Every structure is written in structure tokens, then in C-alpha cells.
Structure 1
Amino acid sequence: MRLLKRLPASFWGIIRFSQRFQSNGRPTAPLGSRILLDPDKVFDHNMWDHMQWSQEEEERAKDKARENSLVRIQPELQDKYESEASQYWNEFYKTHRNNFFKDRNWLFLEFPEILPEEARVHCMEVDTRIREDNCCCENNPAIKMSSAHNVGSCSDCSAATPPSVKQSGDEFPGSDATYRILEVGCGAGNSVIPILRATCNIPRVFLYCCDFASEAVELVKSHPFFDPSRCLAFVHDVSDDASPYPFPDQSLDIILIIFVLASLHPDRIQGTVNRLARLLKPGGMILFRDYGRYDLSQLRFKKGACLSENFYLRKNGTRVYFFTKDEIHNLFSSAGLIEVQNEMDQRLQVNRKKKMKMYRVWIQSKFQKPLPMSQSKQESCSM
């Protein structure tokens, strides 16, 4: 008993945190745990998790989507928005470079696999401090997450000299790393920077990040915490299969795709997923999150903004597609990956001042590249 009393408080926090996860690393109650049990208390919080639509609500959403897709944008204009897509995204980042983007610290709770094992313990400790301070931010992945807490931004991390990954001879950037992460569609770095912070004291981790928009990549590179010895940021069109990556196939442990595939033309999504799957090591994993069918943002479109079925043009010239779980399963399974998680995240977002209710729908998934048969047999025997 005396020994137990000497253990630091953070140890017990790690135990409580780890109990949220099953042996396979998935949260036992994924995608949030704020459940609305009393309808009279719906306006007590800004967001409620795991909301089930009534049949009437679902039919109303379908009717609205059908209505806003009756008028389609002319083919010649569709070609323009396809060929000039990077220009519209560049304008987007020029406009919003100083606001709108908040660190996605929820990544480490929903996607613990994104970090090597030794880095996950640190994130557990940070999460514990946040919870014990009674400062739980609303978990809103629509880039509205509060940046009050920066995972990994403790004094130990900021004061330390980050371990760099050596470059040797003609090898590719990060070739000497033992753990490699790629974020596709990095935007302004609201996933990149938290990952760099969380791994700042973990050796031999290298992060790649790319975006279609050169303005976004420049925003990442200009961030004070960006470290070119541990991260390579580059402009890249993921839908262009002929455009090479600065690393070989089967070299990545993790690929992060957050609100990215929805911006591609639906005809180019499968080819993009196939190419990304080839980049993974055997056993590597794709972590995915994007817009789900009948999300609030889909239902808000007016007539004349529809490009094709469930594919829309925003006022700023960027585009967005809305997925179903089955579509996501088929996309990644067709690329030879195994489903680990594929969840529809349905939430009720409320405006307490205006007494408004708004349904949000996202798809969150994890898909893994199979191990070679021989290695898979060895691991099952060792268990």
C-alpha cells in the first residue's frame, strides 16, 4: 500500500485514460461520450454525441438533398472548377490564414495509432491534466476545435532540442526514421503541429505533409514549431497518380486523411485511395475522417450549387462530396485494405441562444494494410 501511495497522480490518470481503449486500440465509447438522455436538457450543451435520427428526420433530410440537387451546374463550368481547383484553395488559405484554423488535439483520442507507443503515454498525461482541470473542450472536428490546449506543448517539450532524423547520402528525406507519418491535405497545419509537439522528444519519427494549395504549405512552413529536420512539407496533387512522392512505396506507418477526399471529384477518389494504399508498409494504417451523407452543410446548399449526386460547389469555388459508410468501406477495401473501424459519427449541434438544433454527420474510419501471410502466421503463433 505504501508503494501505491508513492506513485504520481499522473500514473492514475494514465490508467483511467487507457481504460477508454480496448486491446485493439479502439475507444470503448468512440466519437464522444456526451449522450442526451433527457430531451428537456438539449440546450444544456453545444454538442451531443451518438444521435439517432427519427424516420421523419431522415426523410426530411433526403427530401432536402433531392431538392437542392435538382439544378446541376453546366458541364463547361464543372470543367473550370476541376482544372482551377488549386487556385480556389489558394484563395481560401489567403483569406483565412490568420483565423479559422484550430489545432485538432482530438486526433490523439480518436486515433491513438497515429503516434508510436512511447508518444501515446505523453498524450495520455496531457489529456489527464486537461480533464482534471475541468476544461473539456467541445469535440467539434469541423475545424472549430478550441486551441486552448496544445497536446505536447508542455515546458519539457518546448525547452528540449528536438531530435532530428538524419539524411544519409542519396536516401529519401526521413529514410533513417523508424516511424513515418504522412498527412494528406495538411491545410494550415492544425494536425501537423500537434503531431510535431507530441513527438518532439521521440527519436526517429518523421512526418510528411502535403497539400494541393501552395499557400497552405507555406503556412505550415512558417509556423514557429515547424522543424524541417523532422518534417517535410510539400505541394502535391494526391489525385494525380503520375505525380511522384518524395519517398518510396511501402515506407509509411500511418496516413492521415482528414476532410480531404471530399474535395476531390468523385471519379478520382478510388484512384487516389489505391495510390495511398501502395505507400503503406504491411501493417500500416490509414486514419480517415470526412463529411457524411446529409450533414448539415449538405442540406444548407441551395439549388444551382450541385455538381453531381451528393457533390457540391461552395461559394468560394471549392467543392465537397458527402459519403456513406458503405462507400468508404468499398473505397478502401477495393484498395486491398482491411477495415478496422468504420463509424458514422452523428451529432446534434445546438445554438443555445437561438434555440436551434443542427445535425452533423461525419464518417470516421481506420483501414489497415494486411501483413504478409508468413508474418501474420508468426504473430498469431506468438500470441
Structure 2
Amino acid sequence: MAAPGRPFGGRLLSDPARLFQHNAWDHVEWSEEQEASARSKVEDNSSQLLPPDKQEEYEVNAKRYWDDFYKIHENGFFKDRHWLFTEFPELAPNSNLGQNGNSVREFRNKEGSNDGGLGSCENGHCSLESRAENELNLVKSTAEMCTEELVPQQCRELKERDGDYPGSSASYRILEVGCGAGNTVFPILQTNNDPGLFVYCCDFSTTAVDLVQTNAEYDPSRCFVFVHDLCNDQSPFPMPAQSLDVVILIFVLSAILPEKMQGIVDRLSCLLKPGGMILLRDYGRYDLAQLRFKKGQCLSDNFYVRGDGTRVYFFTQDELDDLFTRAGLQKIQNLVDRRLQVNRGKQVTMYRVWIQCKYRKPEAPQL
């Protein structure tokens, strides 16, 4: 349970001699030397960019790389969700959660490994669960804004389809973008017992969507999964504008070509009801995963390609704030989670950096 007034846990390393007594330490302060060292490593590993034709290849074939990923890993990488409802209580506002904010069934990796948070990552190559979800397991506008200023064409198209649609009779609607094999969707369905709840989930990968749809936990009366290309602004959503209470982005926006991020956030903002929220957790600048990349894997500033062809960007708080505020959203939370993870068996320390955000659509236009 997070300490009062202190997010992301309260296990503080006050005595360096106790370093290897726990798997992780919260709120780690970086020295100027450590920050300079991290900056130097990033300058070095980004000094050699992939040529434009190779970069275009990764963009054009992005769907195939993600399909291949899920064909290889299928749904064998579910992890515990101790952090999910503690950090994002908006996902189950009326549920009685346990002390750790977790009343969901636990999913465990088939191998049951605990490697200190990076799984089998080497040189930026690792499974999706190892590089994102496993890291988390150690943690515990109104219609006027959808007019001339904010992607008007997409918003008008959505408004035209008001009426009967999946989940149209629900009173609380959640959309998870980039749902993968259901790592977040199924815990929400299990934990949030609101009879008015309806959960939408989508993914770029047809294979991932098939995994969700064929899962025994999938309930079409409470959930609708669909394939969606966020980068295609002509790709329709199944729900109209201003119909969602929550949009979830967990280690998803970082996989998008940076120049396309603003358009995506704009479209997602249009889907929110006034008062609705976008919840995000993603990679922060100088996270260990960024420092481990080698020369020749960098696509552009802070944007890299992994060995499996999937891509990842490392954010600053200001970058994310700019994306969301430009979309007309108000900041509720924008925090850096700096964590020191420890592999006690190998006596190895790993510094992780994640960013967590909550941004809300205004109840009324700002003057």
C-alpha cells in the first residue's frame, strides 16, 4: 500500500547496507553524476541512426512484427496485477479492493521466473511482458472542444454514429488501447462488478485480438474487442464521440511513431465524455531499457527498434503534458516513478524510470 501522500509505494532505501534485502526500492534519487552518465549512454547509442529505408520498413511492417510477437508468446505471459487498481482506482470506482488494491485473480508467467524486472532482456530484446508488465508487478471539453480546434473531421464522423452500438446501454465505459492478450481487460472485468460497466479493448495485432476473443474470460455482454490501427485516422471506432469515461494507455503510446502521437491523443480525447479521463503509464527518459540499446537500433531521438522489430519511445513529463494539453485535456497527475530494482541472486541493480499520467476532459469549455 502506498504511503499517505506518496505514490508508487513507500519502501525507501535509507541504509545502503540494506540494498539487497528487498527486490525493489521506491523514490530513488539520481545524482548529477548518474544523470550525466545516462545522458552520455543515450548520446552514444543514438549517434548512429538507421537509414531512412530501414525506418520506413519498420513502419510499414509494424503490424506484422506485433502479430509475430503474439504468435510466439500467445497468452503465456500474464502477471499479477497488484498495482493496477491501486494506481488507477478509476477502473473499478465502486469495488471493494483489498489492502493492496487488488482483488483480481492472479495470472502468473508459465515459467514463474522472477528476474528483477527485465526478464530476458538483452540489448533491448525481450518479451512484451518482461519489458513492460513485469516491471509493474514490482510496484504495487465538452462538445465545443470537438469542433474547429480539435481534429474536427474525426469528431464529426464519430458523432454521426450516435445511437445503437456495442455497449450503448452501459453507464460506465472503459476503452483499453493496445490490449494485447487481455492483461488489463480481464482483471477489470473480474474486479469491477458494476452492472453498468462495459469495456472496449483494441489492438493493432489481429493475433492479440484473437487471443482475447477466445479467452474463457471473454464475455461479449460486458466487453467488445476489435482490431484498430491508431495511426490510421480513417479507422473507425465502434463507439461515438463523448461516450467513454476512461481510456487506458499502458506501455502503448511509446510504440507509436512520434510524429503520429498527437493525432492519436486528439482522437482519443474526442471519445471522452466531459469529465472523462485518459490514464497512461509508459517508459520514462533514461530508463534502463533505453540505456541498454546498442548503436544501430536508434530510429530518431529517444526512439528505438528492438530485436523483434517492435519499437519504443522514452518520454519526458513535459512531452506527455504537451501531447495531452494540446488535445484539450487538463492535468490531474503527471509523475515520474523512479525505482531501483534488485536481482538479489546475481547482486545486480537496475534503475527503472516510468511516467504515470492522468488527464481529464474539462466539464465545460475553458475561457
TM-score range relative to shorter protein: 0.7 to 0.9
- The one of 169, 176, 186 equivalent to 1:193 is 186
- The one of 68, 89, 94 equivalent to 1:118 is 94
How far is the alpha carbon of 1:336 from its aligned partner?
Answer: 0.4
* Distance in 1 separating the partners of 2:183 and 2:305: 24
Regions of 4+ moved over 6 Å = 137-141
Deviations 1:81-104 (A, max 9, x none): 101101000111111114233243
DSSP 3-state at the match of 2:237:
coil
Contact kept? 2:321, 2:331, Cα under 8 Å:
yes
Equivalence map 1:38-53=2 (5 Å): 38-53=15-30
Residue 270 of structure 2 is aligned to residue 294 of structure 1:
no
Contact kept? 2:103, 2:191, Cα under 8 Å:
no
Equivalence map 1:1-383=2 (5 Å): 28-115=5-92, 117-119=93-95, 122-124=96-98, 127=101, 142-144=132-134, 171-199=164-192, 201-372=193-364
* Distance in 2 separating the partners of 1:227 and 1:139: 34
* Distance in 1 separating the partners of 2:179 and 2:103: 28
Q: 1:335 to 1:350 in 2, by over 3 A?
A: same
Letter in 2 for 1:273: V
How far is the alpha carbon of 1:28 from its aligned partner?
Answer: 2.2
Instruction: Structure 1: give runs of 5+ residues left out of the alignment.
Output: 1-16, 22-26, 131-136, 148-168, 377-383
Which residue does the alignment assign to 1:161? none
Contact kept? 1:100, 1:144, Cα under 8 Å:
no
Higher helix share: 1
Letter in 2 for 1:171: D
* Distance in 2 separating the partners of 1:363 and 1:269: 16
Deviations 1:325-344 (A, max 9, x none): 00011110110000000001
Between Structure 1 and Structure 2, how many residues are aligned?
321
* Distance in 1 separating the partners of 2:232 and 2:60: 12
Q: 1:128 to 1:142 in 2, by over 3 A?
A: closer
Worse-matched range after superposition: 288-297 or 236-245: 236-245
Instruction: With a CA cutoff of 8 Å and minimum separation of 6, indicate the structure with the bigger relative contact order.
Output: 2
Larger Rg: 1
Contact kept? 2:116, 2:341, Cα under 8 Å:
no
Deviations 1:270-324 (A, max 9, x none): 1100110010000000000000000000000000000000000000000000000
* Distance in 2 separating the partners of 1:102 and 1:276: 27
What's the Cα RMSD here?
2.5
How far is the alpha carbon of 1:125 from its aligned partner?
Answer: 6.4
How far is the alpha carbon of 1:33 from its aligned partner?
Answer: 1.6
DSSP 3-state at the match of 1:82:
helix
Contact kept? 1:46, 1:138, Cα under 8 Å:
no
How far is the alpha carbon of 1:238 from its aligned partner?
Answer: 1.3
* Distance in 2 separating the partners of 1:187 and 1:90: 10
Given the two structures, how large is their TM-score scaled by the length of structure 2?
Answer: 0.82
DSSP 3-state at the match of 1:92:
helix
Contact kept? 1:103, 1:191, Cα under 8 Å:
no
* Distance in 1 separating the partners of 2:322 and 2:200: 26
Letter in 2 for 1:176: S
Q: 1:105 to 1:234 in 2, by over 3 A?
A: farther
Deviations 1:141-172 (A, max 9, x none): 9311799xxxxxxxxxxxxxxxxxxxxx9601
Given the two structures, how large is their TM-score scaled by the length of structure 1?
Answer: 0.79
Letter in 2 for 1:95: I
Instruction: Structure 2: give runs of 5+ residues left out of the alignment.
Output: 105-113, 118-130, 138-161
DSSP 3-state at the match of 1:143:
helix
How far is the alpha carbon of 1:118 from its aligned partner?
Answer: 2.0
How far is the alpha carbon of 1:105 from its aligned partner?
Answer: 3.8
Contact kept? 2:255, 2:313, Cα under 8 Å:
yes
Q: Percent identity?
A: 54
Q: 1:215 to 1:326 in 2, by over 3 A?
A: same
